[in-house]
Every structure is written in structure tokens, then in C-alpha cells.
Structure 1
């Protein structure tokens, strides 16, 4: 049955030496030139022999696997390619296809096992590669790809991506996955460099590798972008990144638009791509300059390919059909199929599509993603889109009698079931909805739909095991409660703490879904919500790392109890750390109110709070990019502006102390020059003006890039600009507004100080610039003390009994500042301590009222979305 090799293998595999001493492969251990790689490939090809044989390779992203892959292609040996970490899949395919040679990892190296001398198979001359379309399940159904398929698709991809020998691609996807393999093939076809790594994008070492090796691109599936959110990708400085490619499933249009705009601002391109294993890898790409305007499109056919749309009976949209040199030879399900030649000439994708007015193709659904339940045709893709519109990530499957939907995160499953049943038109009894911590995915990052179907059986089994609990609407977390599965108290406590942490974030930030990869900042947290979250988290976790607001939620775990120290019942810690900015806000508002009332005199805290505002702006408002970040900044400003305008409008109605200019926070511009009661709210106006100006500046792309590249230098320059008004070198345009930009910028610099030298510089600037600002040494001493505390002590130890009162005062500080102007005058003549207490209590009450109004508004907003 053996056939002597008569045809050369795949050109990009046997032509490696053409690129000479150009770097071909870089790992953390070694760099190989194309000449060196070609020598290794030739040596391994000699081990495979000159007779064509069927080879099975369990591969990972390392040099050994790559050399074996290229050797098989160069020698013309048909190759079954599988992931290294799925040995059962390899065993299944070995049993089904009886390969002549098996290559798999062994003791840190790669082992070649010759199972037959020569070959027991009749192998078609064109056959080069066999890939599975079912992930890593070991299904015997394989895609038969030819040498021409591989070469043509590699050249096509390299053409529209503009790959040159100067490019360097990081291998973010497994080479056993057709998308990851296409990155390898396309770059080798142009003499470019592959940076081989198995690191994930959530690993800081990955980004260090990207910078050190000057990578120009990496590939991403939709799930990768979720991970990028959690690691603050938008804030990273990657000057040599040229483009990111996306495939492996549909990326939500808002995400496409967001990353296209982010790339435009930062100097790299986003290539949205569409493909299937049956087309070797790629069939379409969306030109980057069209992504922001057409984020729902898959784009244009790749060079050498073409599309048409065939009508489908009963549907408005037709099926997308692709023709091109990269279309597979056909499927194989038995060893006998390996001798067959081409059995198809075009690829019926199974996707429903349309062509828009711009001439771009758009996939709108999956022909096979329809099920018929109780006589009703249900579009499973539409089910997922309905939930996505509600902000819920979901995966839906179905049988002849039931729709099965998995939703990610802690969800109100009863409400979602009701919304889905109404939206789809199914009876509730025909719907199973399961909440899971994370949607099940294959190794490629694609959704694992068979695993979703299996969840229905798990729910039924759990319901039978717990007959006293209704199965409908329960989550997987509930049916697998540690108390009912025999887990230890420690495991039960850990699970409870994880849920509690997420619940704190949902409560404080008014969000309905929290993922383990998200952070306080990525969820839109700001200095106002920071106070409530930090105090509640410290109570649950027993500790808080200084950078907890930037830490993925899944990593916020309780402090371990040392085994060597037995637990002492009845004894609690009497001191707890509290964030310094929280302590300053709590103490500051007491001092401000007490000074205004005349209980005691301690000025300077308002200016300390301006520096604290800059400090918190840098911590909470600079993550993300583009419109999402600007929107978050404006929402944060709105949380100041709306309560202030509402209260000042009330004060305007009940007193004669204020004007219309006060209501719209424009007294500094439109109000009287002389200082009157209309200047009571100067602090609020200053903060709002500065925050608006900073947000506007950072909306300018080149300024934004400058801030990200020089995070310490940028606010230092702002500080220098602010000194022009501090020393009255430049007179401020806003009359009587005490120059405050330099203090805000100084707080910003404090937040960006990472080294001892930087902190020393900030301390020196504080000591140099604060004296002389007032003709009042105690006030200046207060300012310096507050700023130096922020610089050197991120947290302060306080009696535990005071942590919650401090958190409440800090959270309500702005509201107290607003209302005390009306509360204290009638009380001060009776008793000044009473006036202080009354002002604090009234401000806290107004803060609670505003929070409840916000919560009510959010509830109605979410309900309206769910009813659409």
C-alpha cells in the first residue's frame, strides 16, 4: 500500500532555508534562524523516511512539535494533528486510523514511535493534513486538507495582513487549532518570526515577552478579549504592536468597534476574520478601516476566494457558500477515506448571511443552529443575542423537546427564564436555564455546546437528589452547595466568601454581573464607591492588598490563618487598616464643618481633599480607552454634579443666599467678584472644572498616548503648569477661584509614584511649593501633612470600631459639605457641637437618599432592558 514520494511537500515547509539567517523561532530558551530550523526539519524528516506514511502528532507550542509538523509537511507525510494535553483524543484517533507513526511528548522531549514499517494505508498524493472540527473529543470525523490548501491559505493570509520578514507573532493559540496553525503557516511563508509561547494573556510574563521580543501581532478569539479587559490591556504601552487578529467565533459588535477605535488611537489595527477548518483557516477578513463603521460584518473574501448566498426555504437570509483554493478535499471518517481525492469543490458554510450596502458580508445566524420545540422553530443564535443585549453571556443548545441555556455568572435565573420564554414564545416548562461560574469552552476558546446540553441532565439529577428544593430557576452553584455535597467547612467558607465578594461588587457598583477576571476599576468603580467597597471587603477578607482595586476579583481571597497559631475564640483584632484617602476624607469633612461653625479652627483640609481628588482620579479614572473610559469619567462627574445641582436648587428656593449661577455650578464664572455666600460651593465647582478638563484632555488621542507612555511625567507636567497660577505668573481666567490644579496634579503624581526616588521627589515638591500659599503656617502644615501621608502611607491603622463610621463619613463627605451650609446656622446659636452633629447627620441622610434614588433608577433601567 505504500507510495514512494514523488511530489514535493508544502513549499513553506521545505523552503525554509531560503530565508537564511533571519530569526525564525524565538522561545524563552533559544533563538533559531531559518537555516537552523531547516536543518532540524531535514533531520527529523529523515527519521520519518522517504516513503509516505500516516503520522499522528500530539503538539504543543514548542520547537519540537513545530519541527515535527514541518518535517511531515516537507516530506509529504499526511499528518493527523492533535493537542498534546488531550491524550484520550489521541488514543481514540490512533484506534480509529491506525497511523504508521505516532509522535508524542515523553519526559520533556518528543518521542517518535514507529508502529509500522512503511505504511499500511493508501494515501492520496494531495493529502497533507487532517484536522478535527470537534475540538479535542477524538471524533473520527476529520477534515482532509491538501498541500495546495495549506500553501494557498498561508499566502492569502500573509497578503491581506501585509506580513513581512520584519514581523514577529506571538503564539497565543494552540498550533493544533486551525487558527493558531494559520498564524504559523502564514508567517513562515514570508520569512517572519514566531515567538513560541504557551503563556496566557492574563500572565504578566506574556506582556513582558511581547515587549522584550518586539512582537508586532498576536491572535485572539472572543474569549481572549474578555481576558484582555481584566489585565488592563487598554493601558499597556506596546509601541511595536502592528495588528491584532480576531477569529474563532463572533465578537460582539460593540467590542469590535471599541477595539478598532482603541487600535486607531494607539497605532495598531484590528483584523476581524472569519473562517472554518474546512477552508483550512480563513475565508474572510474585515479591513481595519471599516471595522468601526461596520462592526457586525465579516468583511470581504480573502484573496483568491469568493462568496455567494444561496436562498434557504422558509428563511429571509440565505446560506453563505465559499469557493477558493483553500477549500478542503472533503471529510474522512475511516482509514479508507484517506485514499480519496477531492469530493467537494465549494464549501457550504452552514451560516446564514447577507450582504450590506457597503458590499460587506454579514453572518446573521447558523442554519444548523435552529431547533424545533413544541412545533416552534427556535433560532439558538438569537437566544444568545437576546441575552447578550441584557448584558448576559450565554450559550444555548436544544433538543426536540427542550431549550437548554447556560448563562455566565450569578444571575436571577427565574427572571431570565421568564424573559426568554416570553421573547421566544416557548412555555416555561420547555426551557432549562442554568447559571454557571464560567461558560464551558473547548481548548480553542470556542463554546462547548455538548457540555451545555449535559448541564440539563445534571440539573435533573440534582433535582432528584434534592426533592425538597424546586429545580426550576436554580443555579449550578446552588445545586452543588457545599453543605449538600460533603465539602469541608473550609471549602464551604471559601465558596461563600467568593460569592460574598462578588455580591459586594454588585451591590456597590450597581451591576448585575461580575466576572472573576474583572476588577473594581474595570467595572466602573470610582472614589465614591471605593469607600464602601473597601470597608466591606476588609470585613469579609480580613485584609486588603494596597492594589485591590486593580486585582481581578477571582484573586481576592480571605487571608489564610497560620496553622501554628490556634484560633482564640472571643478575641478579635482591635485595629484595622483603612485607606489613607478614606481617612483624610472622613477627618477632613469634620474639620471643615467644625471650622465653618466655629467649634474649633483647623483650616487647610479642603485643599488636602483637592490633592486626594487627583490621587483618586489617577487610581480609578485612567483605565480603559476611548468612549467607554470617557463615559465612565462623565458618569463619575455626574455623581458629583447631579446631587450638587439638586441640593443647590433646593437652597435657591428656600433662601436668598444663592443664584441661578450657583445651581449650574458657574458662580466662579458668572457670579460676583466679591466673596459672598454665593461662593459657598467653590470647592465643588473647582473639582468639577478640573475633572472635566482632565477628561477632555485625555480624550485627545496623542495626549492620551503620552499619559500612558509617561504615567509619572505627565501629571508632573500638569503640576508644573498649575504652578503658573499657584505663583500668579499666569492669572486664572476664573475670578476668585483659588488656584487648585497644582494640588490636584500633585495628588495625581502621588498615585503614580512607584519608586522610592519618585516618592522622595513628590515629598520635596510638597515641602517646596506649599509654604507661602497662605499667610497661615498652621493651614500650610495641614496641607503638607495630608499630602505626605498620601505619599508615604497607603493605609493607616485605626481602631476597628471606627472603620465603618469613617467609611460613612468619607462616602457622604460631599453631601455633608453641601447641606451643612443650610443646617448649621439655626443650630449654631443653640449649641455648636449640636450644629456639627446635625450637619453630619443631615449630610449622611442626603447621601443615603441619593444612593436610593440611583438604585431605583438602575432597577427601572434594568427592568426596561429586560422587557424589550
Structure 2
């Protein structure tokens, strides 16, 4: 298996430049050769949504150099800490990111150079304290956030297995054209790149995001066929009354990165179906390279709320309270995933990059749920997303489900209460909502603090910034 199939194409929306076939293969090989003179060790790649970033990533992959995909807007102090702890052989993409992409000072032991292929980069003068394991291919922060202290270690086999499994599940082929609607350093964004290049499809490199006029101009100009989004993307598109029918080339919508409200899943399913297209709900995590399941398009509307069965090659079981694993329908517990795409383990320092496979293909997801008779997964929330109100344990995910009719909401645990942030309601409605929660859960009214907000804080990858909300609770 290969990351870049012979029919794959890269199209740069900003310049109109196209790399395809033998020319793309040669360009990836040229970037792979660019790492030859760097000392042994991992590559740190500051990765904006540019063709150069994609080529540096694909080149490192082809060269067998483990690459950590980093947000170019990473805080300078965090970048400096990562360099200290992981001792990368080279930091590429030094000039990526534009506004808000401030660099730290040149780390000690590195030279600031201008490489003829890789561009401006920092090159380490000596080898790191530990050499990476030969199977290691990609390092990703566990949530894509700017302050995460650890990376997920993904093997080459895991990345390729997931890319090809996604291609099979979505029937990707050379006629597909996917725009870069998500950051490359975010696992879902990376998987869009991987799955389309591996399937021999076209990757349309376009920056700006789904709310930018220029993004949709590029989609129409280059006849993009699909859109990948997280719940926030679809919430915002719904708010501005976006319709896929306005972009006739679109035929596939995919959603992952968190739970989208059932009513919006059905809304976008109906919209894209009216144009002869399909809507796929997908589920995964960075630790699984990153996708684990997909709901077939014909699973809607009947199975709305499910994230579907495991991708080809994977399987789910449920870890019951007694510690046994079961695939029996309707046994609720922690979901366990097994597949070739499971991570090797975590890394918090350079020594961890030398470790082999700690997982043996098994991943405890930390998500509660059950399997139905068809093997479809139904999620019931996160194990850690619980709070206590006057000593009573409550599921924060369930509370969010109860209030979502009033607007997008996030519940976080505060001291002896639950704080619920709800978008688009006024103070009077917030008070009434707190009363309804009190009655429904039979907990005193003072145990709920409902706060109206204009918008929920977002991480760079489009997910909810729970840490920011917890700090306000």
C-alpha cells in the first residue's frame, strides 16, 4: 500500500497549479530526498493549508521519516517546549501560518537554513538522545489543541490501513475531488488528505474554511465532490442557511469530530439526498489514525443517532461493568476497538518515539455505548464526562441532549453544580431551562447554572474548547 496512488492529483486553489501522475510522484520524491541531509530523528512540520505543507508531509512519509504535524499558530512557548522534549531532527514549515503564527526563538543546537526544496527550516546539529522506532510514521497531538503535552504515535501500517479502509467505506476513486476544509494537523483533516491521495483522487488545497466566500468559489471552480466537517462547521452552515444544492458538483458530505444534533444530521441528509448525494456520519479518534466507523448513507434516516459499524478490518466490543468484553446487543459499557489502525501508544518525550507497539491493536475508547444486532455503534457519552450535584452523579452528555432543543449547548462540571453554556437564548429562557433540568433530574434548582453565550469557544480543529469552558465554571 502507498500513500500517494499513481492517479492522485494536487490542485492549488490559490494559483491553479496542478500536480498529477508522474509529476506529483516526482515532486513527492524530491521532497523525500530533501530530508536526506538532516540528522536522524523525527520531523516537526508546521502545517498550514498549503500545497507546500502537503508535499513536505507526503515527502517525509515516503522517506520513512516520522513526522509530527503541528499547528503553525502553536504558541511560541509550546513549540519551544515540544522541541526541547522531542529533539526533532528538523523543523520544516518555519515560514507557514501567516498572522498569528509567531515563532519561538531559534532553539539551541539548531541552524536556521533555507533549503532549496523544503524551504526555511531549523536543522539540528546532532542526533537526538533516542532514535525513532522504524515503524513510527506520524505524531499527532491527541486533540489537535495548542497545549496538549503528548502525541499519539501512529505507525506507517496504521495510517495506510485507515486511509484505505475509509476509501473502501466511502467508495473513493479517481473521480473524487476533496477540498481541504479541515486543518492538516487535525487528525480528521489529515485523514481526508490520506484517504483521497491513497485512493488516487484529487485533493483541492484551499484555505479559509467553510464560512469563507473564497472557499466556495474554489469548490465551484474546481468541481469539488465532497465536504468534510465537524459539528461546528455544520452548525454554522445551518445558521447561514447554506444549501449543498447551490454547489451542483457536491455529492458527499461527511461528519466526524463530535456529535452533531440528530435534527441537523437529518436536515443535511435530506438536503444532499435531494441532489442525489449522500451524508455519512463517521466516528473516530486520533488514537485510531483516526476513523473507526461510518454510518452508511442508507442508514439514514432510520438509524439517526448511530455512528454505524466498524470500518473494514476493525471490530468493536463492549467492556461491561464486570470487566468482561461482549459483542452482545444492548450491553452498555466502554467501547473497545480493535483494528490495524490502532496507535502504537503515546509519547511525552523523545525516548517514547523509540518505543514499539504498546497497544497490540486494541484501544479502549473511553466512550460509553452499545452495539445493536447489526453491529452498529450507539454512543452514550464519555466515561470522564460526569459531574456531581450535591453528591449525585450526573452524565454531562445526557444534560446536553436534554437542552439542545434550546440551542447548541455544552455542560461542564463546577463545584457541586453543573454549568450549562447555551448559544442563542436570553437570561429569562436560561432561568426557565434551569428549572426544567431541576424537575427532570430531580435535583435542587441551585445545582444548575445555565448561562447564555453568543458562541461556544472553539479549538483550531473546530472542536469545542472544553478547557476554556471549565475555566469559567
Give the corresponding residue for 2:449: 432
Residue 156 to residue 12, structure 1, CA distance change in 2 (3 Å)? same
Alignment check: 8 A CA contact 1:140 1:334 kept: no
**Alignment deviations for residues 291-336 of structure 1 (CA, whole Å, 9 cap, x no partner):** 2111111111100000111213699721111100000011112221
SS of 1:84's equivalent?
A: coil
User: 1:101 aligned to 90, 97, 109, which one?
Assistant: 90
SS of 1:86's equivalent?
A: coil
Q: C-alpha distance in 2, partners of 1:228/1:54?
A: 38
User: 1:350 aligned to 366, 371, 374, which one?
Assistant: 366
Give the corresponding residue for 1:12: 2
TM-score by length of 2: 0.88
* TM-fit CA distance, 1:273: 0.4
* TM-fit CA distance, 1:187: 0.7
Q: C-alpha distance in 2, partners of 1:316/1:379?
A: 18
Alignment check: 8 A CA contact 2:9 2:197 kept: no
Correspondence list, 1:408-423, <5 A: 408-411=423-426, 412=428, 413-423=430-440
Q: C-alpha distance in 2, partners of 1:24/1:104?
A: 18
Q: C-alpha distance in 1, partners of 2:374/2:294?
A: 14
Alignment check: 8 A CA contact 2:129 2:351 kept: no
**Alignment deviations for residues 786-808 of structure 1 (CA, whole Å, 9 cap, x no partner):** xxxxxxxxxxxxxxxxxxxxxxx
Structure 2, unmatched stretches of 5+, are 99-117, 324-329
Give the corresponding residue for 2:393: 377
Residue 358 to residue 303, structure 1, CA distance change in 2 (3 Å)? closer
Correspondence list, 1:728-743, <5 A: none
Instruction: Please identify which structure carries the higher strand content.
Output: 2
Q: C-alpha distance in 2, partners of 1:12/1:87?
A: 34
Residue 235 to residue 156, structure 1, CA distance change in 2 (3 Å)? closer
Residue 116 to residue 297, structure 1, CA distance change in 2 (3 Å)? same
Correspondence list, 1:169-568, <5 A: 169-234=178-243, 236-312=245-321, 317-345=332-360, 346-389=362-405, 391-399=406-414, 401-411=416-426, 412=428, 413-456=430-473
RMSD of aligned alpha carbons: 2.2
Q: C-alpha distance in 2, partners of 1:147/1:236?
A: 38
* TM-fit CA distance, 1:23: 3.2
Q: C-alpha distance in 1, partners of 2:218/2:51?
A: 17
Give the corresponding residue for 2:135: 126
Alignment check: 8 A CA contact 2:129 2:350 kept: no
Alignment check: 8 A CA contact 1:404 1:452 kept: no
Alignment check: 8 A CA contact 1:353 1:363 kept: yes
Alignment check: 8 A CA contact 1:104 1:110 kept: yes
Q: Does structure 1 residue 72 correspond to structure 2 residue 60? A: yes
Alignment check: 8 A CA contact 1:257 1:293 kept: no
Give the corresponding residue for 2:11: 25
Alignment check: 8 A CA contact 1:396 1:449 kept: no
Alignment check: 8 A CA contact 2:413 2:470 kept: yes
Q: C-alpha distance in 1, partners of 2:410/2:395?
A: 12
SS of 1:351's equivalent?
A: strand
* TM-fit CA distance, 1:359: 4.1
* TM-fit CA distance, 1:196: 0.5
Residue 105 to residue 114, structure 1, CA distance change in 2 (3 Å)? closer
Residue 356 to residue 198, structure 1, CA distance change in 2 (3 Å)? same
User: 1:116 aligned to 117, 125, 137, which one?
Assistant: 125
How many residue pairs match? The answer is 441
Residue 343 to residue 146, structure 1, CA distance change in 2 (3 Å)? same
Q: C-alpha distance in 1, partners of 2:13/2:35?
A: 25
SS of 2:305's equivalent?
A: coil
Q: C-alpha distance in 2, partners of 1:213/1:252?
A: 31
Q: C-alpha distance in 1, partners of 2:11/2:257?
A: 24
**Alignment deviations for residues 801-821 of structure 1 (CA, whole Å, 9 cap, x no partner):** xxxxxxxxxxxxxxxxxxxxx
SS of 2:303's equivalent?
A: coil
SS of 1:341's equivalent?
A: coil
User: 1:147 aligned to 156, 169, 173, which one?
Assistant: 156
Give the corresponding residue for 1:37: 24
* TM-fit CA distance, 1:24: 2.8
Q: C-alpha distance in 2, partners of 1:388/1:410?
A: 11
Structure 1, unmatched stretches of 5+, are 1-10, 457-868
Alignment check: 8 A CA contact 1:274 1:285 kept: yes
The worse-fitting range, judged by mean Cα deviation, of 165-174 and 52-61 is 52-61
* TM-fit CA distance, 1:235: 6.6
Q: C-alpha distance in 2, partners of 1:399/1:329?
A: 35
Q: Which has the higher contact order (CA 8 A, sep 6+)?
A: 2
* TM-fit CA distance, 1:399: 4.3
Give the corresponding residue for 2:327: none
Correspondence list, 1:150-165, <5 A: 150-165=159-174
Q: C-alpha distance in 2, partners of 1:400/1:332?
A: 32
* TM-fit CA distance, 1:128: 0.9
Alignment check: 8 A CA contact 1:317 1:352 kept: yes
* TM-fit CA distance, 1:153: 0.3
Q: C-alpha distance in 2, partners of 1:420/1:35?
A: 61
* TM-fit CA distance, 1:404: 2.2
**Alignment deviations for residues 67-87 of structure 1 (CA, whole Å, 9 cap, x no partner):** 111111111111111111224
Instruction: Please identify which structure carries the higher helix content.
Output: 1
Q: C-alpha distance in 1, partners of 2:226/2:191?
A: 13
**Alignment deviations for residues 359-393 of structure 1 (CA, whole Å, 9 cap, x no partner):** 4221122111122342211100011011113x222
* TM-fit CA distance, 1:239: 2.6
Alignment check: 8 A CA contact 1:169 1:194 kept: yes
Alignment check: 8 A CA contact 1:121 1:335 kept: yes
Residue 66 to residue 427, structure 1, CA distance change in 2 (3 Å)? same
**Alignment deviations for residues 454-496 of structure 1 (CA, whole Å, 9 cap, x no partner):** 112xxxxxxxxxxxxxxxxxxxxxxxxxxxxxxxxxxxxxxxx
Give the corresponding residue for 2:101: none
SS of 1:404's equivalent?
A: strand
**Alignment deviations for residues 742-794 of structure 1 (CA, whole Å, 9 cap, x no partner):** xxxxxxxxxxxxxxxxxxxxxxxxxxxxxxxxxxxxxxxxxxxxxxxxxxxxx
Q: C-alpha distance in 2, partners of 1:230/1:396?
A: 22
